[in-house]
Chains A and B, each alone.
Chain A
């Protein structure tokens, strides 16, 4: 059994028109208080992924399910969750148009752990929307990031060898997360 921390954006960028199917809103877990309306926010999708991962027999959590005592830094919370929940797998949901600032900070910490040989690249599974991972069949070059969003550093994740699984629909996203966590 794995212990999974689901990471990703919380909200959509201002003015970004997100396309999340109505089915996602209908299938959100009962224990989750939905944030985005009428269109679910990325944080809602992350709650759904936590629920999906639990249904296939793994432990799963997300930062928003943990209380942060007064005075505890968010970075400290991140490390405390990883320690107390015995997290061995990080699932990163990366839709186009999400706020990437928080993710950027989390990626920085994870990349540092890989460079310090505290974490294996295999432990970080990245699920970018297909438009976020460009694999050019003509040139064989890949780009991971959103143009004009200063996400160039994120390509270090590819360089480090983290598995990436691009998805085109939310049905695919949920399927691929399950497949990456199954034996």
Chain B
């Protein structure tokens, strides 16, 4: 599927992107495995979503400080962490504003909208 020019539009359309961005949006570095498992995302969907988040420059993939290399079938793998970029934090702020608007109007929302945006 063709990606939109606007990253906010893409994140709005992609619940996994929203979930990952919220998980790493506290300004700290997070282990991908913990983010994926805490949000219950399939490994392949997670990989693809993180790739696109990094493509839009919303999330940074970087090696963990002092990380060690591990042998993998693809060669030596390094432990990486995910963190939100300044652009990612801006998008997250927009999403949080949107959530707070929805929250105020919760009784009037369709169930699907509530489930998509207001579920914990």
Q: Is A176 an interface residue (CB 8 A)?
A: yes
The residue from A141, A168, A175 contacting B78, defined by CB atoms under 8 A apart = A141
- Cα-based distance from A168 to B70 in the complex (angstroms): 25
B79 contacts the other chain (Cβ, under 8 Å)? Answer: yes
B75 close to chain A: CB less than 8 A = yes
Chain A: minimal CB distance from B52 (Å)? 8
In the assembled complex, 20 residue pairs joining A and B whose CB atoms fall closer than 8 Å, in A order, are A135-B47, A135-B51, A140-B31, A140-B36, A140-B79, A141-B79, A143-B72, A145-B75, A152-B76, A158-B62, A159-B67, A161-B60, A163-B62, A164-B61, A166-B55, A172-B55, A175-B3, A175-B5, A176-B55, A179-B56
Cα distance A77–B55 in the bound complex, in angstroms: 30
A153 CB to nearest chain B CB (Å): 10
Q: How far is the CA of A133 from the CA of B46 in the complex (A)?
A: 14
Q: How far is the CA of A140 from the CA of B31 in the complex (A)?
A: 7
Residues of B within 8 A of A155 (CB): 63, 69, 76, 78
Q: Does A116 contact B (CB under 8 A)?
A: no
Q: Which residues of A contact B79 (CB under 8 A)?
A: 140-142
Q: How large is the interface on A (under 10, 10 to 19, 20 to 34, 35 or more residues)?
A: 20 to 34
* Residue contact A158 to B80, C-beta cutoff 8 Å: yes
Known: A141-B72, A141-B80. 8 other contacts (CB 8 A): A135-B50, A142-B77, A143-B76, A152-B76, A158-B63, A158-B80, A161-B60, A163-B60
CB-contact partner of A140 in B3, B33, B44, under 8 A: B33
A179 to B7, CA, bound (A): 9
Chain A hits for B56, CB < 8 A: 176, 179
Interface flags for B36-68 (1: CB within 8 Å of A; 0: not) read 100001111011001110111100111100010
Decide: B63 and A137 in contact? CB cutoff 8 A: no
Chain A nearest Cβ from B8, distance in angstroms: 12
Taking a contact as CB atoms closer than 8 A, the residue among B41, B78, B85 that contacts A143 in the complex is: B78
Q: Assess the B33–A139 pair: CB atoms within 8 A.
A: yes
Query: Which residue in chain B gives the minimum CB-CB distance to A168?
Result: B51
Does any Cβ of B come within 8 Å of A71's Cβ? no
| CB contact under 8 A between A135 and B32, given known A158-B61, A161-B63 | yes
Shortest CB-to-CB span from B21 to chain A, Å, is: 15
Quick check: is A41 within 8 A (CB to CB) of the other chain? no
> Contact: B46 with A137, CB < 8 Å?
yes
Residue of B nearest to A144 (CB): B78
Closest Cβ–Cβ distance, residue B9 to chain A (whole Å): 12
Q: Is B2 an interface residue (CB 8 A)?
A: yes
Query: B74 within 8 Å of A by Cβ?
Result: yes
B44 pairs with A137, CB closer than 8 A:
yes
Residue of A nearest to B58 (CB): A179
Chain A residues with CB below 8 A from B85, complex form: 163
